[in-house]
Amino acid sequence: MSVKDALREQRIETPSWAYGNSGTRFKVFAQQGVPRTPYEKIDDAAVVHKLTGVAPTVALHIPWDRVDDFGKLAEYAQDRGIALGAINSNVFQDDDYKLGSVCHPDPLVRRKAIGHLLECVDIMDQTGSRDLKLWFADGLNYPGQDNVRARQDRLADALRETYARLGSDQRMLLEYKLFEPAFYATDVPDWGTAYAHCEQLGDRAQVVIDTGHHAPGTNIEFIVAFLLRAGKLGAFDFNSRFYADDDLMAGAADPFQLFRIMHEIVLADALKPAAGIAFMLDQCHNLEPKIPAIIRSVLNVQEATAKALLVDHSALDAAQRAGDVLEANAALMDAYNTDVRPLLRELREDMGLDPDPMGAYRRSGYAERIVAERVGGDAAGWGA
Ligand SMILES: [Mn+2]
């Protein structure tokens, strides 16, 4: 397959919550024109897809995107040329979850949390979503606060019950995070923990790599390669970070890392939708306007992918077999140092798109229109 064909088939999922207000734990800075409802989040996601051509799905977050009729929401998305993607559960914003959700010492709280996860699968049945994405804020702040092994048992029980509820074409994606909000121990802190739980559950339980959820300096592409080999890589949450879980635009902090990740994906022929890996964004823009920032992230992922597709695999393989360290490294660097922007402009023209999605958004007048229309907009989400 040609580089352009591979790029044309690429699919990047945008998150509904990135269209709403968000902030740090110090302050949410409200923006004018942010969506007031899940429907308006879909309107914005449809604009991103219309301009980039590679973002045809939007992930929902429950309860932030709860509506009376999810079938109607799915139809609404379809009418705008996109589809509903992964359902993200939320068991971290109720007062009951202070000491955890599915790992909580109180069985009543655990039951409530599991009930929510099962409700999310009900919603998937209505939206036609394939993936249930789980992230747990569960953890401990102090040594001795709770029994670590008992919490793993509770986690395994909750995952097992939820997994059993999935339809045959649905998957469970388990996300890990090193720390925060818990500071001493997180119940799913790393890929190994997520992998072990998924391995016990079965084929339809897979690991999510959120690029912001590791210790500084972690070799994320190694994790990608390992999970690909094990058939356990289900999805990415792309964003970038300088210090912790910064949730900045994908590829902004370390475009080379994003390239190295996409190189492992391309090497394993896992870019195509049939490979079953969901390439999602998970970011919370705090300063910059929402829609163009999401477009920028999509373009950054696309650029990293284009560069990864340009790696000369036969030259790389020959150099590796010959033990030629410098040539092998050069095969990667030559691709990384290629300016792929002309190629992507050409691709967009082939696809009938404006070659410059950022400029096209600016010129569209959409930003001005939503500011005028969505007075007092603040849909449920991080800013709520
Ligand atoms: Mn995430």
Q: How remote is the CA of residue 365 from the centroid of ligand 1, in Å?
A: 31
Q: How remote is the CA of residue 175 from the centroid of ligand 1, in Å?
A: 7
Length, in residues, of the chain? 384
Q: What is the pLDDT of residue 383?
A: 53
Q: Is 115 helix (H, G, I), strand (E, B) or coil?
A: helix
Q: How remote is the CA of residue 128 from the centroid of ligand 1, in Å?
A: 21
Q: How remote is the CA of residue 143 from the centroid of ligand 1, in Å?
A: 26
Q: How remote is the CA of residue 328 from the centroid of ligand 1, in Å?
A: 33
CATH of 3-373, one of 3.30.460.80, 1.10.1380.10, 3.20.20.150, 3.20.20.410: 3.20.20.150
Rounded Cα gap, residues 219 and 197, in angstroms: 22
Q: How remote is the CA of residue 329 from the centroid of ligand 1, in Å?
A: 31
Contacts of 140 (CB under 8 A, 6+ apart): 146, 148, 182, 184, 185
Q: How remote is the CA of residue 296 from the centroid of ligand 1, in Å?
A: 18
Q: What is the pLDDT of residue 377?
A: 64
Q: How remote is the CA of residue 299 from the centroid of ligand 1, in Å?
A: 19
Q: How remote is the CA of residue 134 from the centroid of ligand 1, in Å?
A: 9
Ranges of residues in the chain with a pLDDT under 70 are: 377-380, 382-384
Q: How remote is the CA of residue 237 from the centroid of ligand 1, in Å?
A: 5
Q: Residue 98 burial by CB count (10 A; 0-12/13-18/19+): exposed, middle or buried? A: exposed
The pTM of this model reads: 0.97
Q: What is the pLDDT of residue 381?
A: 72
Rounded Cα gap, residues 45 and 58, in angstroms: 6
Q: What is the pLDDT of residue 23?
A: 82
Q: How remote is the CA of residue 338 from the centroid of ligand 1, in Å?
A: 30
Question: In this structure, is the dihedral angle defined by the CA atoms of residues 32, 36, 38 and 44, taken in order, positive or negative?
Answer: negative
Q: What is the pLDDT of residue 162?
A: 98
Q: What is the pLDDT of residue 3?
A: 97
Q: What is the pLDDT of residue 384?
A: 44
Q: How remote is the CA of residue 304 from the centroid of ligand 1, in Å?
A: 20
Q: How remote is the CA of residue 161 from the centroid of ligand 1, in Å?
A: 23
Q: How remote is the CA of residue 320 from the centroid of ligand 1, in Å?
A: 34
